[in-house]
Amino acid sequence: MHRGSAIRRPLIVLAVCAVAALGYVARDFLIPTAGAIVLALILTPVANTFERLRVPPTLSAAASVLLLAMGLAVLLAISIPALSSWIDQTPYLTYTLERKLAGVRKSVAIVQEVSKQVEQAASAATPTTPTVTPPEKVVVREKSLMAELASTTPGLLLQVLYAAVLAFLLLAHRNNSRRQIMRIPASFNTRVRLARVMRDINDRVGHYLFSLAVIYAGVAACATVALAMLDFPNAIIWGALMGIAGFVPFIGSAVTIAVVALVALVTFDDWPRIIGAPAALLAIHVIEANLVTPMFVSRRCALNTVAVFASIALLGWMWGAIGAIVAVPLLILISTIAAHLPSLRWLEILLADDRPVSERLARKPSLASVARPPSPTRVRQPRRRLATAK
């Protein structure tokens, strides 16, 4: 027993390393695949709503994906002219930022001059050594920005198309796939466990992601209105970025608020609006994180803070911004699966926030669809009636 556990632990470490290496090497395929799975889970409540209205599953999936695609297309149609204008105004924006930071640069220059004088005074007391001039470096200029975009755009479009098609297929065939998966196990207990896993994935992951999507859409709307009231340029784009950044805990909202503060410093000349733009976004984020999200999102989705931060850092390094966005949904999916497997209880305990998920899921009622049929029982008559008959 001890020898088996001693061999199993290195194998687990090697398996984790192999999965991480595979995830990095195959990132061009895994990034759109993970994105499609997350999109399918988010759009599942929308497709279920269409099906309750007697819409066929295929048309429900197509309508759900089409609505999301239309929203992204509108956002891109608004963002592309703004991005092009920012690129054209880069020299002016740089000059404006340097002019407004002139006082800070003077203070830094004074500090550098004082430190230089101190170094000269210290070097005068020590014998000088001849300095050797380093050889000049020849810098070869790489591709321009437009050439880089032209080379990466076709691959990016193919990944987006693949993710959209895969999300549509997962939505359209989710019921048939669930029935086919239920036929794989041979034993009744395994079927019950598998049915509970799929039920909890739908409840815990799908409804959680859909709730977060609705909440962050509200955050985007509130941020857009607040920035528009301050005459902030391209308020819709920054509001949408604030909503999308909410899917990346700890990092997304903080980075967006910092960038908005920098843009406000470059754009405005009065301090009330310079401070007001990031302050408004900070207030919206605090209200969302401390009041709205705890009110509408179940505690069953709470995860360990260290695990969330580590997963965001790891997938962000491996897959970029998309990896940071899908890190938390994938972590919830892994935690839900581990809650039903006794061999992965250690992983469930590490990912749980306070109490393991399996203890909370154990109180759920049994599934009626896979319930064991009741066994026939004999009808026993009272002895008094039999004695009377004799």
- What digits encode the pLDDT tens for the residues 345-388? 888 888 877 655 555 544 444 444 444 545 555 545 555 544 44
pLDDT at 92: 63
Average pLDDT over the chain reads: 77
Q: What is the mean pLDDT of residues 73-99?
A: 73
pLDDT at 388: 45
**Distance between CA 84 and CA 224 in Å, rounded?**
21
Do 166 and 32 meet the contact criterion of CB atoms below 8 Å apart?
yes
pLDDT tens digits along 119-177: 766 666 555 555 555 555 554 455 554 555 556 677 788 888 999 999 999 999 988 88
pLDDT at 298: 57
Enumerate residues 6+ apart whose C-beta is below 8 A from 356: 339, 345, 348, 349
Reference 40, options 219, 205, 244; nearest CA is: 205
Q: What is the mean pLDDT of residues 186-207?
A: 81
Q: What is the mean pLDDT of residues 40-68?
A: 90
How far from chain centre, in Å, is Cα 182? 29
CA distances from residue 68 to 46, 130, 221, 235, 366 in whole angstroms, order as listed: 11, 67, 16, 21, 35
Do 336 and 197 meet the contact criterion of CB atoms below 8 Å apart?
yes
Do 315 and 326 meet the contact criterion of CB atoms below 8 Å apart?
yes
Q: How many beta carbons lie within 10 A of that of residue 62, not counting itself?
A: 17
- What is 235-271 written as a DSSP string? HHHHHHHHHHHTTSTTTHHHHHHHHHHHHHHHH-SSH
pLDDT tens digits along 302-351: 678 888 888 888 888 888 888 888 888 888 888 888 888 887 788 888 88
pLDDT at 366: 46
**In the structure, what pLDDT confidence band is assigned to residue 106 with cuts at 50, 70 and 90?**
low
pLDDT at 12: 74
pLDDT at 189: 84
**In the structure, what pLDDT confidence band is assigned to residue 38 with cuts at 50, 70 and 90?**
confident
Q: Three-state DSSP class for 303?
A: strand
Reference 204, options 325, 337, 327, 355; nearest CA is: 337
pLDDT tens digits along 6-27: 677 677 778 878 888 888 888 8
pLDDT at 282: 94
Q: How many beta carbons lie within 10 A of that of residue 63, not counting itself?
A: 17
pLDDT at 18: 85
pLDDT at 204: 74
pLDDT greater than 90 at residue 283: yes
Do 220 and 243 meet the contact criterion of CB atoms below 8 Å apart?
yes
Q: What is the domain partition of the chain in residue ranges?
A: 301-360
**In the structure, what pLDDT confidence band is assigned to residue 118 with cuts at 50, 70 and 90?**
low
Which residues, in sequence order, are bridge partners of residue 303?
A: 352
- Which comes out higher in pLDDT, residue 283 or 338? 283
Q: Three-state DSSP class for 352?
A: strand
Amino acid at 156: L
Q: What is the mean pLDDT of residues 286-313?
A: 80
Q: What percent of the chain has pLDDT over 70?
A: 71
Reference 303, options 328, 273, 285; nearest CA is: 328
Q: What is the mean pLDDT of residues 208-231?
A: 89
